[in-house]
Amino acid sequence: NAGVTQTPKFRVLKTGQSMTLLCAQDMNHEYMYWYRQDPGMGLRLIHYSVGEGTTAKGEVPDGYNVSRLKKQNFLLGLESAAPSQTSVYFCASSPRRGSISGEQYFGPGTRLTVT
Amino acid sequence: RKEVEQDPGPFNVPEGATVAFNCTYSNSASQSFFWYRQDCRKEPKLLMSVYSSGNEDGRFTAQLNRASQYISLLIRDSKLSDSATYLCVVNKNSSASKIIFGSGTRLSIRP
């Protein structure tokens, strides 16, 4: 099992460019999440999904969009990148155990720099 | 006040020592608690859940104090490989948007 994978690992964008980050998991997990991690701050939830075809906003959703067309994939889009979106992005997934919990499995992260 | 607070450290201790750190949370209705470890430039990895009665996994012991609203992590006989940042996670209810990550406590074990 590969677990949770993310592509790309690194990316540099110019302000205003767009890109899509791909997350894939092979653990048949129901729930998937996108976080960003900035120095000195905890992980902040951008968007999440409780199942195929459903998405919801997290704590910091502005400037991002997501889609979950297949259970195993969760895509994060930046339509018009801004320097404030320079961050490390982590995707995570978790199994359905009655309810969403903090038991999550993370991908290796994508380091994004917006100049 | 942050919803989940951790002493950022760094805690610098010799190999073989016992080290403990706490994480406080502000919402008394919080339901579940976890400790993660994160190595430099890597992803967080689940270390252990924290149960009400306290739980142990090898050299690691986690405790929950609901009255004072904190969780703790104790590491006995510390190894060089324990050097990492330890994140506490608090789940306020069953919603993904209520899972709060602390900023982490950095631990460095010296030979």
| DSSP codes of every residue in B16-69 | T--EEEEEEES-TT--EEEEEEE-TTS-EEEEEEE-TT-EEETTEEEEEETTTT
Place of tokens 């993904």: B96
- A34, A26 contact by CB (below 8 A): no
What pLDDT does residue A87 have? 97
**How many CA atoms within 13 Å lie on the side-chain side of B47?**
28
**A41 lies within 8 A of chain B by CB:** yes
- Three-state secondary structure call for residue B103: coil
Residue B80 token pair: 């060089």
- Three-state secondary structure call for residue A81: coil
* Higher pLDDT, residue A85 or A50: A85
CB contact under 8 A, A45 and B33: no
Which of B91, B101, B106 should we substitute to test contact with A (largest number of A Cβ atoms within 10 Å)? B101
CB contact under 8 A, A106 and B44: yes
What pLDDT does residue A101 have? 67
Burial label for B107, CB within 10 Å (0-12, 13-18, 19+), is buried
**A108 lies within 8 A of chain B by CB:** yes
Task: Calculate how close chain B gets to A59, using CA atoms only, in Å.
Answer: 7
* Higher pLDDT, residue B31 or B42: B42
* Higher pLDDT, residue B67 or B93: B67
Is 80 exceeded by the pLDDT of residue B98?
A: no
Q: What is the pLDDT of residues B76-85, one digit of tens each?
A: 999 999 999 9
- Would you place residue B59 in the very low, low, confident or very high pLDDT band (cuts 50, 70, 90)? very high
**A42 lies within 8 A of chain B by CB:** yes
Task: Calculate how close chain A gets to B41, using CA atoms only, in Å.
Answer: 9
Which of A6, A10, A43 should we substitute to test contact with B (largest number of B Cβ atoms within 10 Å)? A43
What pLDDT does residue B95 have? 67
Nearest to B103 among A40, A50, A109 (CB): A40
What pLDDT does residue B97 have? 65
Task: Calculate how close chain A gets to B35, using CA atoms only, in Å.
Answer: 9
Q: In 3D, which of A46, A57, A49, A60 has the Cα closest to residue A96? A: A49
Share of chain B above pLDDT 70, in %: 95
Task: Calculate how close chain A gets to B51, using CA atoms only, in Å.
Answer: 13
CB contact under 8 A, B94 and A100: yes
Rounded Cα distance between A55 and B16, Å, is 46
Sign, Cα dihedral of B75, A39, B38, B109:
negative
Mean pLDDT for A14-20 is 97
Q: Which chain A residue has the Cα nearest residue B103?
A: A42
What pLDDT does residue A20 have? 97
Residue A26 token pair: 């092979």
Rounded Cα distance between B8 and B71, Å, is 15
* Higher pLDDT, residue B30 or B23: B23
Could you write out the three-class secondary structure of A24-80? EECCCCCEEEEEEECCCCCCEEEEEEEECCEEEECCCCCCEEEECCCCCEEEEEECC
What pLDDT does residue B52 have? 85
What pLDDT does residue B72 have? 96
Q: What is the pLDDT of residues A70-107, one digit of tens each?
A: 999 999 999 999 999 999 999 999 987 655 567 899 99
Share of chain B above pLDDT 90, in %: 75
